[in-house]
Structure 1
Amino acid sequence: MRQDFRKDFDELLDLYDSGIPFAFARFNDGEARILANQPVGCKHEWQYRPGNDLHFRASLRESLQVRHDRYFYGLPSWDMSPWMHDLVRGLTAARRESLTFAALFANGNHDRFLEEFVPRLRRRDRPILFVGNARLSRRRLEELLGISDFLPLAGDCVRLWRRKERELLDLVDLKASLSRGAVFLVAGGPLGKILIHALWKVSAENTYLDVGSALDPLLFGKPTRAYHRDPVNRALIPCWKPEGGEGESSTVPASGQERQPS
């Protein structure tokens, strides 16, 4: 990866076309706040509470420790939040060549994701397994993406990990160990990063793609994020931190000093 928003998208697309297995896990603002042990969540979706969910944070931090040339991490863009970018970058064991943007499928690349990535998923030349919202029906996922299997995630992903970690790991072991050359599409919020790490540990012979909310307009039939509907947000090209450059302070703000996402 070159830490160039357009070129990194091309590189990931080429890698997908090659059939070489890889993993891509995206750590954006929600994950950064969890790693900073700040309260955060998405309304009606999930909540992280610093006093109760430290095990979730530890699992998320551990998922940043893969150092492999086919395991890629997306980081918050430096221009969006220097402290988030620096925090996640400082916690990952990956080399620079394995780092790119968490928003690689969003903002100024979202139209390309829908126009270039989604048609490739529909080709059905590889088994597609979807890991995500239990409210989606398997039939709809089959119709839209041609999936061959579905691992539903029900309710608050942070609480789900606390209640059913062992069961989830056993399911991950089953799905990954019986697959070879498959594509796992993961849309599980912060839990998705933990599950991609677990899937990779079971088998590095599949592709694990953290699609997050990029498929929401297709799957739910409506926009769920600003970059789905706002032309300015959809045209945004995130920037990487200049090497050796000076910029805004990267000090992690105290809890409550920054507005939390809704």
Structure 2
Amino acid sequence: MAGKPVKAQEGWEAPGYLTKLGQDLNRCFAVQHENVVHGISCPCCDKASHYWFATRAAEDARITFANLFVNAQYQEFRNWIETSSKPFVVIADESASNNSVVIGGRAPLKTIYVPSNGVVEWESHSAEILNSIVAQVGEVEGALFLVSAGPMAAPIIMQLWDIAPNNVYLDVGSSIDEFTHQRKTRPYHSQDTKHAAMRCELPDCADLQRQVTVVVGVYGRPTYLKEQIEAIEQQTLRPAEIIVFKDHKDDFDFRFFEGFHDRATLITISRNTGVWGRFAAALHAKTKYVCVFDDDTVPGSKWLQNCLETIKTHRGLLGTNGLLFHPKYSYKHLEQYGWANPDKKVRRVDIVGHSWFFERQWLSAFWRDSDDFHQWRIVGEDIHFAHMLQKYLKLKTYVPPHPPYDIEMFGSLPESAKEKGRDAVAISMSEEGFSPMGKYLEQAKKNGFRLVMRTQLHALFFKIYRKWRSKKA
């Protein structure tokens, strides 16, 4: 559904692009009806999938657990179908076709088998598969349909429900495997496993849908905007809104943006405000959190989810790339954390850049002591934000985890960051930008900005610790 590669234990695989089955699943998920209930992943079993589904569910959609019939609920579900007197139909994977299905001493009205490699078969034969199922079902009314057809279950159910809405259709997944395959295929099938005792929680999806607004600035590198917006739209934690801040320049083509009008707001101004204006655009956000991106930052698909999880335990300014400065030398950093130096821990730093994740209400602190920001224009916003939050709200600055084994959690995809960071337009690549960064830092320190490494002794201890850590690794 997100165009990501998937491999199931049953053997079927989905490639790394949006297949026809993926498109059909997205259409099924968009259906809103009082008799349609969508099951989604819970955060305790699959956090990334939960965020993805919860932030894409229709506003009035009826939502329940995807694992409603498994884990601790399995025995109760099994007892229910074994004692039910309702006539039933089974639709199952063809790998079980050599077995005779009996549930509670009763045989189904019909047993229909579907291809094991449904993702591949669906690509060119979806109509044939659906027509075959419809023909085999025939005229059945008032029955219970137990559908165990992997990712094909939803479009099969929607097709049958459209033809015969008086039946009950359940996507039961592996919960009937003991009847169809006549063996235990999952840990929860055995009552003595931890899975059989798992009870999950499902938060309100609407809360996640209203969490984050993304702000993207556009000035010197508009060619990256389409790639950025597509990466932001593919976030597991989909933002409530995207604000594109178009800063002054008119010499680029914005026609592609028409495809995002229902999800994005375009703000255009008539003069260049440098790196500061996008934080004024962020004031238009209606959500609790805001994430402001540099125009060359393309995040991994779990970045906003990563930030939201981190800010719950480390309430402060978060960012993609963080620096710890040397207490003596202007703009010389002792350590860098983020995409360029992956680390599975949350790291406290002096400043962050490339993107900033924060509570919207903190913008009132950002704009304090900013009377002379116009004279800096192209630098200083990163230092200023960390300083103001430290000074007025007593908040620290952090880089969320960037585990080397999962780049989808990164605030910037490494290969993209390396390529775009070498761009001639990049401020960090120009003397015009780098020199004022050091001057702004010195000014902030004179005005009370406290570095994490406050003395040269702190810096020395840190160097010794870093050497010890690298030898241990």
Whether 2:29 is the aligned partner of 1:64: answer yes
- Match 1:50 to one of 13, 16, 28: 16
1:205 CA drift (Å): 1.4
Q: Distance in 2 between matches of 1:139 and 1:38?
A: 34
Which residue of structure 1 aligns with residue 82 of structure 2? 118
Q: Distance in 2 between matches of 1:104 and 1:140?
A: 25
1:56 CA drift (Å): 1.6
Which residue of structure 1 aligns with residue 168 of structure 2? 207
Whether 2:155 is the aligned partner of 1:106: answer no
Q: Distance in 1 between matches of 2:407 and 2:9?
A: 17
- Match 2:50 to one of 85, 100, 112: 85
8 Å CA contact retained: 2:19, 2:123: no
Q: Distance in 1 between matches of 2:152 and 2:47?
A: 24
Q: Which structure carries more strand by proportion?
A: 2
1:139 CA drift (Å): 6.5
8 Å CA contact retained: 2:95, 2:116: no
Structure 2 gap segments, 5+ residues each: 212-234, 238-300, 304-404, 409-473
8 Å CA contact retained: 2:118, 2:151: yes
Q: Which moved more, 1:83-92 or 1:98-107?
A: 83-92
Which residue of structure 2 aligns with residue 23 of structure 1? none
State TM-score, norm by structure 2. Answer: 0.42
Q: Distance in 2 between matches of 1:238 and 1:164?
A: 37
Q: Distance in 2 between matches of 1:38 and 1:117?
A: 35
1:134 CA drift (Å): 1.6
1:152 CA drift (Å): 0.8
SS at match of 2:170: strand
CA change 1:70–1:163 in 2 (3 A) is same
Q: Distance in 2 between matches of 1:151 and 1:196?
A: 13
SS at match of 1:105: coil
Which residue of structure 1 aligns with residue 130 of structure 2? 169
Larger radius of gyration: 2
Whether 2:187 is the aligned partner of 1:235: answer no
Which residue of structure 1 aligns with residue 5 of structure 2? 39
Give every structure 1 segment of 4 or more consecutive aligned residues whose post-TM-superposition deviation is greater than 6 Å.
none
Quick one: which amino acid aligns to residue 135 of structure 1? S
8 Å CA contact retained: 1:142, 1:148: no
Which residue of structure 2 aligns with residue 257 of structure 1? 406
CA change 1:152–1:87 in 2 (3 A) is same
CA change 1:198–1:40 in 2 (3 A) is same
State TM-score, norm by structure 1. Answer: 0.72
1:45 CA drift (Å): 2.6
8 Å CA contact retained: 2:99, 2:182: no
Q: Distance in 1 between matches of 2:106 and 2:124?
A: 30
Q: Distance in 2 between matches of 1:139 and 1:225?
A: 18
8 Å CA contact retained: 2:72, 2:197: yes
Q: Distance in 2 between matches of 1:94 and 1:184?
A: 27
CA change 1:140–1:73 in 2 (3 A) is same
CA RMSD of aligned residues (A): 2.9
- Match 1:226 to one of 187, 192, 199: 187
Q: Deviations over 1:186-228 (max 9, x none)?
A: 0000111121112122221111111110011233232211222
Q: Deviations over 1:25-75 (max 9, x none)?
A: xxxxxxxxxx22211121453100024x52121011111122111111111
Q: Distance in 1 between matches of 2:45 and 2:201?
A: 8
Q: How many residues align?
A: 217
CA change 1:244–1:139 in 2 (3 A) is closer
1:138 CA drift (Å): 7.5
Structure 1 gap segments, 5+ residues each: 1-34
1:176 CA drift (Å): 5.8
Higher relative contact order (CA 8 A, sep 6+): 1
CA change 1:103–1:198 in 2 (3 A) is same
- Match 2:116 to one of 142, 151, 155: 155
8 Å CA contact retained: 1:132, 1:151: yes
1:92 CA drift (Å): 3.2
Quick one: which amino acid aligns to residue 236 of structure 1? M
8 Å CA contact retained: 1:66, 1:94: no
8 Å CA contact retained: 2:177, 2:183: yes
SS at match of 2:95: coil
Q: Distance in 2 between matches of 1:108 and 1:197?
A: 28
8 Å CA contact retained: 1:176, 1:202: no
Q: Distance in 2 between matches of 1:227 and 1:181?
A: 30
1:157 CA drift (Å): 1.2
8 Å CA contact retained: 1:75, 1:88: yes
Q: Distance in 2 between matches of 1:94 and 1:197?
A: 20
